[in-house]
């Protein structure tokens, strides 16, 4: 069981790196991200119906801690862009959440830091840290969300939608990756 869980999480991490390299929102990225998500779900199912990580040697638990942390930070970016690409299907250019990325610059780096902080606070047993991370992000982005100086090529609703969908996807992904370790 230990080997299967570690292998699935490691494959998920490799797929996250591959998806990160692919063009954001492309069909190939969406498929690779879906397989990455399936690896995480499969590892979770094995842990859920087995005895979790209870009884694992500390070294293997530490490997899972590091690899799932890498998966949380790296995999959240492609997952978020895939979700946003799926949301954008059929939208006009002005309603596009991809266009809204021009207003919310630095989102990839901010998202990676957010996922790392959420993962770390959950693994450390301090879920209150998630609220602090979300509060800081919301306060920091508030001026951009309410700015009247947004380009005409994007609607304010698309900017807010990108912020909300991106944040929820990113946080849920980090919490899910941290959830692998909650059986310790």
Note the maximum CA span of the chain: 58
Helix (H, G, I), strand (E, B) or coil at 138: helix
- Residue 32 in contact with residue 15, Cβ under 8 Å? yes
- Residue 87 in contact with residue 164, Cβ under 8 Å? no
- Residue showing tokens 């959440």: 97
Q: What is the pLDDT of residue 54?
A: 80
pLDDT tens-digit map of 111-145: 999 999 999 999 999 999 999 999 998 888 887 77
CB atoms within 10 A of CB 156: 14
C-alpha span between 131 and 152 (Å, rounded): 33
pLDDT tens-digit map of 44-55: 999 988 888 888
Q: What is the pLDDT of residue 86?
A: 86
Q: Does the model's pTM come out above 0.85? A: yes
- Delimit the domains of the chain by residue range: 2-179
| Burial class for 42, CB neighbours closer than 10 Å (0-12, 13-18, 19+) | middle
Percent of the chain residues past pLDDT 90, beyond the cut: 53
Q: What is the pLDDT of residue 182?
A: 80
DSSP assignment of 10-71 equals HHHHHHHHHHHHSPTT-HHHHHHHHHHHHHHHHHHHHHHHTTTTTT--HHHHHHHHHHHHHH
- Residue 95 in contact with residue 157, Cβ under 8 Å? yes
- Residue 71 in contact with residue 40, Cβ under 8 Å? yes
- Residue 116 in contact with residue 172, Cβ under 8 Å? no
Q: What is the pLDDT of residue 180?
A: 86
**CA dist 65 → 12, 46, 170 (Å):** 14, 16, 18
């Amino acid at each position: 069981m230990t080997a299967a869980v570690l292998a699935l999480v490691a494959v998920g991490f490799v797929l996250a790196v591959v998806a990160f390299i692919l063009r954001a929102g492309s069909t190939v990225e969406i498929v690779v991200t879906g397989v990455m998500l399936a690896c995480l779900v499969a590892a979770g199912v094995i842990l859920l119906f087995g005895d979790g990580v209870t009884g694992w040697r500390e070294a293997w638990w530490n490997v899972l801690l590091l690899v799932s942390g890498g998966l949380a930070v790296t995999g959240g970016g492609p997952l978020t862009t895939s979700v946003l690409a799926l949301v954008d299907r059929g939208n006009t250019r002005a309603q596009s959440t991809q266009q809204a990325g021009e207003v919310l610059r630095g989102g990839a780096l901010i998202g990676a830091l957010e996922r790392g902080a959420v993962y770390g606070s959950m693994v450390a047993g301090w879920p209150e840290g998630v609220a602090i991370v979300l509060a800081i992000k919301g306060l920091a982005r508030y001026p951009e969300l309410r700015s009247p100086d947004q380009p005409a090529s994007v609607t304010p609703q698309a900017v807010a939608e990108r912020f909300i969908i991106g944040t929820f996807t990113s946080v849920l992904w980090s919490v899910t990756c941290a959830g692998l370790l909650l059986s310790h």
